[in-house]
Amino acid sequence: MKIYLVGMPFSGKTFIGLKLAEKLSFNFIDINTEIEKEALMFIDEIYTNLGEETVKYQEKILLEKLLKEDNTVIATTCSVVEDRKNKNLIDGIVIYLTVSDQILEKRKNEGYPNFLVEKYSIEDLSKKRFLLYQNFATDIVENEEDYNKTIDQILKIVTNS
C-alpha cells in the first residue's frame, strides 16, 4: 500500500507523512528532499537556478520509480497536481491535506523559504489549485491544528481501504 499526501505549501505533507509512516511502520519519502539530494541544492535554489520545470521533471521520474515501492507514505511536491499525467503515476491512496489560507500564512511566516509562495500569494495558489487537489485526491482530510486528529482520520481511511 502507498499513501500519497498532496496539498498546498505548508499544509503539513512532510510532518504528517513522517508521523503517519512511523505509526504504520511504513517507509517515508519526501519528494522535495529526494529532488534536493539529486540536485545537491535546496528546493528553493532549484526553483531559482534551474526553474520550476526541472522540479516537475524530477518529480515525474521519482513517481515512476515509486511505482515499484510498497508500504510507503509519500509527501509530494505542492505542484504535483499541475500535470494530469502524474495522476497515472500515483497508485495508492491520495490524501489531500486541506488547511485554511490563514493557517497557511501563519505557517509560512514561521517556516523556511518557499519559492512558490514568494512568487504567488497563498490565496492565489489556493484558488489556482483547489480543484486540482480535489481531482487528484481519493480522500480529503483537514490538517488545521491537531495533527493527531489528522493522522487518526487518515488511519481510518487506510484501514477501510
In a domain, 55, yes or no: yes
pLDDT computed for residue 55 by the predictor = 83
- The pTM assigned to this predicted structure is 0.90
Q: How far apart are CA 29 and CA 69, in angstroms?
A: 10
In a domain, 160, yes or no: no
H helices then E strands: how many in the chain? Answer: 8, 5
**65-116 per-position pLDDT tens digit:** 988 889 999 999 888 888 888 999 999 999 999 999 888 888 777 776 566 6
49: domain CATH number? 3.40.50.300
In a domain, 38, yes or no: yes
In a domain, 161, yes or no: no
Task: Look at residue 135 and tell me whether its pLDDT is greater than 80.
Answer: yes
Q: How far apart are CA 67 and CA 33, in angstroms?
A: 18
Task: Look at residue 39 and tell me whether its pLDDT is greater than 90.
Answer: no
Are 157 and 20 a contacting pair, CB within 8 Å? no
Q: How far apart are CA 139 and CA 83, in angstroms?
A: 19
In a domain, 116, yes or no: yes
**41-52 per-position pLDDT tens digit:** 888 888 888 888
**141-160 per-position pLDDT tens digit:** 999 889 999 999 999 999 98
Burial of 88: CB neighbours in 10 Å, binned 0-12, 13-18, 19+: exposed
Tell me the residue range of the domain where 22 lies. 2-153
CA distances from 85 to 14, 77, 80 (A): 23, 15, 10
Specify the number of domains making up the chain. 1
